[in-house]
Structure 1
Amino acid sequence: MTYTSKEKALQIAKFLDDKKAVDIKILELKDLTIITDYFVICSADSTTQVKALTEYLEEKMDLEGFKPLHIEGFKYAHWVLLDYGDVIVHIFLEETRHYYDLERLWLDAPRIPFESSISDKTRAVYR
């Protein structure tokens, strides 16, 4: 299947949501920078979950025909970056996400709506 950059970002967000990622945000950067069209940002409660989200996303995207151009941070799993060219994925340990606060740094970036399929109450059970 052929995806637009936005469709790819939304599919990535869905995969992350399927694996219980927390606070998924999609930022549209295509009119702000040449590095990528979209950031997908999410959090995890532990380094184990950061790694699990990374591995799951890699597996699911591979099935869709996409391999990351580069992966950074998997060894320590505080902030893993997966570069899919037009979409860059940031999977953060919760504290690390708050420290770097990418959403604030890219305040000008439009947010693409994404609704989690899991309610906050249900998600709390998984924590």
Structure 2
Amino acid sequence: MIAVQEEYIPYLAPIFDRKPKSVVALMVSQLTSYTDMVVIVEAGSSRQVTSLSEHIIKSLKNAKIKAIGTEGVKEGQWALLDFGHLIIHVFESEAKAFYDLEGLWSDAEPVDISRFGSQPATDMEDDDEF
């Protein structure tokens, strides 16, 4: 596991504001040429996918960081937020399990994001609490 680099902190911090079910960050720069890091975020509902995605976009825009492109934010199953050197995928739980991006990137080096205080997923979480 590698330590998170300072340049990625502004991208990662807003993710944890909305209590995602899980977050995994993978350094893929040795495996692909189109990005350096992939962040896979699990949300508990389609509504949370949209809310979390919009929050990340707005927070980064306020920090003068603009997405190159976004897809699926309103649909709420799988949102893709492309910032060039970092791509954030926000999935509803069933879509995350179906597409299994962690399996696709199993050779990637995990990034230690514990400094952000990620919460473990629980079956007791209420989707309306975010």
Q: Unaligned regions of 5+ residues in structure 2, if any?
A: none
- After TM superposition, give the deviation of residue 24 of structure 1 in Å: 0.5
- Give the count of matched residue pairs: 123
Contact 1:41 1:89 (C-alpha < 8 Å) held by counterparts: yes
Larger relative contact order (CA 8 Å, sep ≥ 6)? 2
* Preserved CA contact (<8 Å) 2:22 2:120: no
**Alpha-carbon distance between aligned partners in 1 of 2:121 and 2:35, rounded to the nearest angstrom:** 34
Matches within 5 A, 1:7-46: 7-46=6-45
**Cα-to-partner distance string for 1:38-91 (whole Å, 9 max, x where unaligned):** 001111111110010011001111122111111011231100000000000000
Root-mean-square deviation (CA, aligned residues, Å) is 2.2
What TM-score does the superposition give when structure 1 sets the normalisation length?
0.86
| 1:120 corresponds to 2:120 | yes
Identity over the aligned pairs, expressed in percent?
31
Counterpart for residue 59 of structure 1: 58
Gaps of 5+ in 1: none
Letter of the 2:21 counterpart: V
Partner of 2:109: 110
Q: 1:84 to 1:123 in 2, by over 3 A?
A: farther
Q: Would the aligned equivalents of 2:22 and 2:42 in 1 still touch at CA under 8 Å?
A: yes
Distance verdict in 2 for CA 1:64–1:79, change over 3 Å: same
